[in-house]
Structure 1
C-alpha cells in the first residue's frame, strides 16, 4: 500500500467518524429541542395559572356592613 493509499484510508476513516459524530449530535439536539418545547409549554401553563391566581387574589373584597351596624 502506497503512502497516498494510506493517507486516503485515514482521511476516509476520519470522514466516517465525523459523519457518525454529526449524526449523534443531530439526534441529541433534536431530543433536547423536544425537552425545551415541553418545558416551554409547562412554563406557559404555569404562567397563565399564576396570573389568574394573582388576578383573583387582587379582586376587592365585597363591601359588607360591619357586624355592629
Structure 2
C-alpha cells in the first residue's frame, strides 16, 4: 500500500510542477498578447489618421508629417 501512495504522491508532484510551468507560459503569453494588441491599435489609429489626411484634399505639402 505504501508503494501505491508513494507513486501517487510522485504523480501529484509531477502534475503540480507541470501546472506551475504551464501557468508561467500562459502568463507570459498574456503579457505578450496585451503588448501586441496595444501595438496593433496604435498602428490602426495611425493608418486611420493617414487615410483621413489623404482624404482631406489638402496638398501633400500642407499635410502634417506622420510623426506629429
Instruction: Confirm or deny that 1:19 pairs with 2:16.
Output: yes
TM-score by length of 1: 0.82
TM-score by length of 2: 0.83
Where in structure 1 do 4 or more consecutive aligned residues deviate above 3 Å? none
**CA deviation profile, 1:6-26 (whole Å, cap 9, x unmatched):** 000000000000000000000
| 2:30 corresponding residue in structure 1 | 33
Q: Which has the higher contact order (CA 8 A, sep 6+)?
A: 2
For structure 2, which runs of at least 5 residues remain unmatched after alignment?
60-68
Say how many residue pairs are matched: 59
Aligned alpha-carbon RMSD (Å): 1.1
